[in-house]
Amino acid sequence: MLRLPATYKTLFLGLVLLCNLVGFAQNNKQKQLESRRQELRREIQKINELRIAHKSKEKSELSLIEDFNYKINVLSNLIKVTNQQANLLSREINKNQKHISELRDELKQLKEDYAAMIVKSYKSKNQQSRIMFLLSSEDFKQAYKRIQYIKQYSNYQKKQGELIKDKTNELQETNTKLLKQQEEKKALIAENRITQKSLEKERKDHQVLMQSIKKNLSLYASQIKEKQREADRIDREIDRLIKEAIAKSNAKAGKTVSSKSFALTAEEKVLASNFIANRGKLPWPVERGVVRLGYGTQRHPIDNSLTIKSNGVRIETSKGAKVRAVFNGEVSEILRMKHVNPIVMIRHGNYLTIYKNLSKVYVKKGDKVVTKQEIGEVATNPSNGETILSFILSKGRDTENPASWIYKM
């Protein structure tokens, strides 16, 4: 029996481990892509449901452009993810086709070796030849070795037969896996063709609407600026209230009131720590919805010379949707401003979550709330039927991207 040096054994084991890790990584990547693809499909379904719900309402061109841009973005991402899945499957298919070819060659060689072994075994099968083989031994030691050899040869035959059986099963399993992968790839390509057609239609409708808008761009630009001024006014008032709350907490603790962060009690420190521990796992502030506008400064979809500054996210949901607290906390403020729907602010230690555009409020200042507790209802715009919640998350006075905190946002 051939014995490999320790160095070669280590190298061989390393290669086997590496192959297993690569296989696991590819399988894990495929699962991640499939999960993301299903998320995007559900998002498109939500967009379509909301479009049907608002079909009877006359939406403004600005809202329609936002709708188109959002759906085009989701469709483009779906095509991208599906292509990644198909490409990954192609690599796995090629790998399995190569593996099948290697298995066939290996199986052929095993069968040839086994057949030669059987012929050789048959020729020396009779009892007399075995006895003569043993009797011709020069001493007892040699006879014992020859008995062991006969046993080993018999065991080797048995193992070879089992190995052929195992390789045949592996070949059949790989063939089945290959056929399944080919069907999956076929289905992904077919789905992508349908998605591509849907994307082309959305882009054409978007182009037609943009041509109409460009005829009176100055009017829309002034509307955009007015909306941004109103958003900035509300954000300034929210910032003022947060600043006052921070100063109040610091004065109570005997610290400088100019601090940018809350002075926390022992209980509030635990709450803040638990809030941080749930980063990326917090529930959505509404049960069902799609993000219409993301966080941060971005170019306006109608006029690229204008920017939108978003301190949070805008989530479109269905009429009558309930607003939920995303974590345990205390209602620090109910903000009511002229011509502005109520805003609820909840404090979680040194973090705050802010829920804008409510039609009904179920809580009052000072109330303790728990995760997923209903705190109000999202207001519906009577003119266009849109039900949009603006959601902000901040650490003290510094806003953060809610998508980093909310599960799969």
Of 190, 214, 238, the residue that ends a domain is 214
pLDDT in tens, the chain (409 residues): 445 455 545 655 665 565 555 556 778 888 999 988 998 898 888 888 877 876 666 667 777 888 888 899 899 999 999 999 999 999 999 988 988 888 888 888 878 877 777 776 665 555 545 556 556 767 777 776 766 766 676 666 677 778 788 888 888 898 888 899 999 999 999 999 999 999 999 999 998 988 888 777 777 788 788 888 999 999 999 999 999 999 999 988 888 767 778 999 999 999 999 999 999 999 999 999 989 889 999 887 777 777 888 999 999 999 999 999 999 999 999 999 988 999 999 999 999 999 999 999 999 999 999 999 999 999 998 877 889 999 999 999 999 999 999 998 8
CATH number at residue 255: 2.70.70.10
**How far, CA to CA in Å, does 129 sit from each of 31, 132, 142, 277, 401?**
61, 5, 16, 78, 85
> 207 and 192, same structural domain?
yes
Last residue of a domain, one of 179, 214, 249: 214
171, 189, 214 - which closes a domain: 214
109 and 224 in a single domain? The answer is: no
pLDDT at 65: 82
Indicate whether 164 and 82 sit together in one domain. Answer: yes
Residues 234, 353 within the same domain: yes
Asked whether residue 230 falls in the same domain as residue 202, the answer is no
360 occurs within a structural domain: yes
Residue 372 belongs to a domain: yes
Q: Is the alpha carbon torsion for 347, 353, 355, 356 positive or negative?
A: positive
Same domain? 71 vs 148: yes
Burial of 358 (0-12, 13-18, 19+ CB in 10 A): buried
Q: Residue 125's domain spans which residues?
A: 12-214
Is 121 a member of any domain?
Answer: yes
**Are 228 and 200 found together in one domain?**
no
**In this structure, is residue 59 part of a structural domain?**
yes
Q: Please tell me whether residues 226 and 158 are part of one structural domain.
A: no
Q: What total number of domains does the chain contain? A: 2
In whole angstroms, what is the distance from residue 35 CA to residue 45 CA?
15
Does residue 343 lie within any of the structural domains? Answer: yes
Residue 263 lies inside a defined structural domain of this protein: yes
Q: Give yes or no for a contact between 93 and 181, defined as CB atoms under 8 angstroms apart.
A: yes
Domain check: are 112 and 37 in the same one? yes
**Residue 223 falls inside a structural domain:** yes
Are 319 and 370 found together in one domain? yes
pTM, to two decimals: 0.68
pLDDT for 12:
52
Whether residue 1 is contained in a domain is answered as: no
Task: Answer yes or no: do 326 and 346 share one domain.
Answer: yes
Q: Are 221 and 207 in a shared domain?
A: no
